[in-house]
Structures are given as structure tokens and as C-alpha cells.
A and B are shown apart, each in its own frame.
Chain A
Amino acid sequence: MLPKVPRETLLDLCRRMFIIRHFEESLVPLHEKGVFAGHYHLYIGQEATGVPALACLQADDYLFTTHRNHGHLLARGADPKRLCAEILGRSDGYNKGKGGSFHTVVPSLGFLHTSAVVAGIIPLAIGTAYASKALKNGRVTVCLFGDGALEEGAAPESLNLASLRKLPVLFLCENNGKYGAGRAAGAAQSPSMAVYPLTDLPRAYKIPTQQVDGADAGAVHALVSETVEKIRRGDGPSFIEAQTVRWPGSETNWPSVLQPTHSALAWDVSVVPEKVREWYRACDPVLIFVRELIEAKQATREEIAEIESKVKAEIAAAVNSAVASPYPPPEDAAKDYFA
């Protein structure tokens, strides 16, 4: 379903989903051509969680994200040029090339620190929440992580502390392993986590939990806005598990775009290679959102195509600008290691 927000907001959410999708799809050929180094992780397939969830927050709220951060930063309004430049290790990047894909921060948007250790941010998120409570500034912290983060000890220690101190923090776990191994047999979610459902873990620490279909933008928006409101008024922490179906392009260690996205796929997937067609037909959250907009007569196909084509031009320009950005002077590596 669609979020219950004005039409302009719906179209803006659609635009942000396209920004994420086309940004991420643009990175893959750059990496294949060797334009940037190292490993990286994409947010494709989770757009309908991050975009509506982050739309529920205030400008001064804190957010923490992980190695899979591009989508969260873009959903919150980060500049694709500077994000791309950071991923490419260039001086125009948000962290002047010192962070990279794993560690991009945008303090003005509430992202103070991005950890590539899967549960690294969870103790930090209860820390900003502790500070907000002590300073009585009404800020909520949203901690965005994947299902794998719950496998590290930092997670249960932090859940316990957050519950004991009634800290204003939302743990938003994006489980992109729906239909993963073992699930069909009614067994554990994955071969590496005995807790199932994942919400049993926070529940053991007396933290209220909810599950939501992460491809359902309206359900995510309704649940996160209601939950954040409760947290802001002092009810203590909450935990939401958003379930998404893993994008087939991420099945290997290195992402690959088997089918470039365009909005017409929302009503015709015949061009999609057969082995990934089902995901684009039934699971792609961006295409689901597009279909819902059209069915609800909030936008025409032409309007959607126009939004998408503007986004594609914006992303192409951002990528070009990032590629043209110089590398930082090597000697900067030895500077600015202390305040």
C-alpha cells in the first residue's frame, strides 16, 4: 500500500527510490572497470524500507548505518556527487576519501559515524540515545543494520542496556534474507542464527518488536512513524524487523546488474532474463511502488517516466563529476588524525 501522505510527498519518495536504484546500478560498471577499489555493498531491493522509514524522522535525529549505507544516506538527502566521490576515494567525497563506501558520514543529516563491522554501530546508537535522553533534546536515534548484526555480541549487550535505561532508540533491522536457506522448512532463518524469528532476541530483553514487509512502503511508513512517535514521547526503545527479498544481483560476492532497472518493468518484465524475472515481477520494491502509484491514480506512467529520466540524468552527472574529482594529495593520509 501507499504511505498516507500527500501526493507531492509520494512522488518525492518515488524519486528517492529511483535515486538509490540508479546510483547503485551505476556503481557496478565503475567497479568492473576498476574505477574504485575494495569491496562494496548495495542497497538494491531495500528501497521501500529505507526511503519511507527515514521520511518519518526529524531533521536533527541521529542515524547509524553500516557497510550497506548508500541507500540510507541517499534516502535522507545526501548529495549523490559527494557520495560517489567518497566511494571512488576522491577529494570531493564526504570524508575526503578517508572513509570510502564503508564509512561515509554526513553529520548534517545525522550520520555521525558509519561502521563496517556489522554490529559496530549498535552500541554507538544507544550512546547517542543516552546523550539525547541526558540532554533532554528530544532526538531519536535510528539504528539501521542487517540480520547478520544480531550474530555479534555487541547486539545483545546493547539491547539489554537500551531496555534497562529506556533509551530513545529504534533498532531497524533490515532482514534481506527472506526466503533464505532453512526458512521453507520452518527452521531457523539462516544457518548462522538459532533465534527465529529474529524479534525473539529483542523481545527477550523486553523491547517491543514488530515485523513488517519491507517491500510495502505504506506499511513501513505507518509502522515507523507510529513507533518513532512513541519513542520520542519517552516509551523507550523499539525493534522493527523489515523483511525484504534479496536482490538476485547480490547473490555473489561481487554485485552484478543482470537487468538494468527502468520503470516500464513495472508492467512488463518480458525483457528481463528469465533466471531473475520473478524478482522483478513480484519482489522489486521500487517497481511495486510504481505500480501502486499508478493504480491509485497518484501518477501516470508518463509522469513516473519523467521523474525517472530526471533522476538518471542527475546520477549520470553525479558520477561524471565524481570521476573527474581529483584524488586527495597522498600526504593528507598523515594529517588530521587527532582533533
Chain B
Amino acid sequence: MKDAGSKDHAALAAAFNKDEEHVDWHDGALWFIREKRDIASKNIPEWEQLREAASAIKSNVISNLHTYLLQFEANLTKNGIQVHWASNAEEHNEIVYSILKSKEINQMVKSKSMLTEECHLNEYLEERGIEVINSDLGEYIQQIDNEPPSHIVLPCIHKRKEEIGELFHVHLGTEKGLSDPTLLTRVARKHLRNIFLTRRAALTGVNFAVAETGEYVVCTNEGNADMGAHLSDVQIASMGLEKIIPQKKHLGVFLRLLARSATGQPITIYSSHFKKPRKGQEMHLILVDAGRTTQLGRTDFKDALKCIKCGACMNTCPVYRKSGGLSYHNTISGPIGAILAPNLDMEKHADLPYASTLCGSCSNVCPVKINIHEQLYKWRQVIVKEGYATHTKALGMKAMAWTLSSPGSFNTAGKAGRWVLKNVPFIANNKFNPWYRQRDMPDSPKESFTVWYEKNKKDDLSK
């Protein structure tokens, strides 16, 4: 897998920004989806009430998760689905491997699942001689390019069609230079149909898991999850603990919000409700913690567990649109990724909460009303307090705290700043100051606000 190495968001974004025309295209493509979301949401007069309801249902879920997990497990068992529990990625991968091994299966087809990306399941199984093929078109493209997805709904949105055409030429033997999206999709359809027909095992993700009935819902537009599942002898579903909802009727709320928020569609083409194995088929479901119970205990950050993975926060984010999903060096990118990732590894992801302007657009479009931008701000404070901020950032913040806490030093610093900008601007405007890289410093004002205010207050009184 291509790796971001030790580069942080800023460095990876800078690399993405080298091709300005491509950045403009990426920016526009994602904004177009944001606009489609706006149109779809405005067609529903009770949209805001639906968001409220979805958020409140998820609040209930995370506050009553223990009961729901037990209820869900009991109902799955009653329905004939085998339940497994995994504390972390390693356990999850081991469970999948042991299921396949017991059936002597060495090839599996997989539909979109960010959880298995997070667990690096494909690499784990490949090391043990099991081939996995991602069947969602975008994920398939990312897999043949040895790259992780850059967006949770549109995995290869950062790629141009010519790049995809070249990948198909190398891996699927298409004519060189072929880049028409319809023709490329037809080639993938034919190739993957043969995969579906020959694989005995299929793994899917889970969008919603209903505690009341022990069924789970998988949403796709391509039909790939169903093609894999209904042709398999062994069907496996992997889900994070937070995917539970209390009752089936709550699906009405979530399915009205999900696709409209994600792509502006009224519903995904397929919303499949899996409840019992097909005759002669085996079904397994793996409940995965992998940091979720820790997040549940973080008062300020627990609400991130409400996420239904629609991607709306990415499409609207000015930083995401201009830096690309891969610059977040985390499976889940964008604003939601930036508040989920530090929970898993604060040191590795200390840069992500800073990859934001805190404009709040993400929170405004979130269908379950997660306070994303507030959590980004709160993570910054935790990261500095725990000592994970970069040296320059921490130093700068300390200096600022000292300056702002004393009127004397504030006045002195102000005078010094104005003098510098006026007389020796190159001290601030140089390549060692990261703030200046894409900006120009303003002209120095003649006087400070304090001085101006004192003068005008007197003028006012004399009137």
C-alpha cells in the first residue's frame, strides 16, 4: 500500500496543491455534490426536524448501548447469524481469517467497508494467502492502484479519468488511452461479474443494525454488496459497535437522511435488509470495538460516534476540497476523520484537528448534527495539553497566551509588530514563517486600536 510516510497534513496538502488545475476540478466536483445535497434537503420541509430526530435517536443509542448490544446479539443468534466480538483490528482480522480457513476458502469478494480498511484486513489476509477483491468500483480502482480510499463515499474522487484509464490498461488490458467513464465501467462490470460468480465468501460493511429485530441494512448504488452476498456460501458482515439503532421504524429517519446528505439522491438504489442466512448459507457478524468504547468515555468527543458516514462534511469542507482526502493520512478523512482519528492515535493524528478553518460548515450539513467544528477546536486543546502539538505550534501558543494575558506585554507586542511591518517587513514575510506562505502581510496601521479608541472616546465626549 502506498503510504503517506511521516508527512503531515500540511506537507501532503502542499503536494496535492502542485497541480492547480486538478485542485480546481476537485474543489468544484465536491462542491457540486454539496449543492445536490442542498437541493435534495430543501425538498423535505421537515428536514431540520429529521436531523434533530436522527441526532436524538443516536444520543439514545450511545447512552443505552450496553442493552442494545445484548438485544442485538440475542436476536442475531435467534435469526441464525453467528456473532463474534473483536476488541481491535487484529482480533477482527483473525476472526475473518479463521472463518475462511475453516471452510478452506482462499478468495473473497468485499463490498465497501471503511472498518475493514481501518483494520487493514486485505493486507492481513493476503499475507496469509487469501486474495480479497474490493467490488465497489471506486474501491476497486483504489485497490489496483495500491492506494487507500480518499473519500468514504467516493473512494477515487481525487483521480482523473485518464489515470483510471491507464490503470485499467495495465491491470485489465483495455486499450491504451481509453478513458470514457461508461466504457471503463462496462469493463469493470464484466470483470467483477466473473469475480462475484466464482467467490464462495463475501464480506460487507453495515450501515444500520437494528437491535429490535437482529437484522442489518447495507446501502449501495452499484448492487455490489448484494451480488457478492447472494452468491456466497459464507457471508460475513463487519460493523463498529456504534452502528446500532433501536428499532426498525428508525430506519425511516436515517434512510431519508443518508443518501440525500451523501449525494443528493432520494435514497440509495439498494437498501438491503439482511436478517437470516439463505438456505445452505452461513452468516457471520463481527462486532468491532477498535477504540469506540474509549471514545464513548470522552465526554467532549463521544458524539462523533453518531456518524452515519454520508461524507457531507467532506464535500462542504474548504480544506478537504482543496487538499484531497489522502492528505489526512487516515482511512476516514475530512472533518469527521479529523475528530475520529486522534481518539485512535493522538500522536500520529495530532495535525488533523488543525486541518480546518473552524468555519462550521461541516456541523451545518451533518445529518445527525455532530458538533464537528467544536470538537476540532477541543481536540486542539487536548493535543497541546497532552504535549502532541508540533514544537513551533506549542511555542507560538505559549507566547500568545503570555502576551494576551498581560496588558503591558500586549501593548509592547503591538508596538513592536507595527514597527516591524512598517520598517522591516521581511522579518515577518519570509519563507520561515508558514503563515506567510500563501498570504501577504497587511500594511502597518498608523496607530494601535487602543490609542485610536482613547482619542475617539475623548472626541465623542467633547461633542
Query: Does chain A bind chain B?
Result: no
Instruction: Name A's B-contacting residues (CB within 8 A).
Output: none
Instruction: Name B's A-contacting residues (CB within 8 A).
Output: none
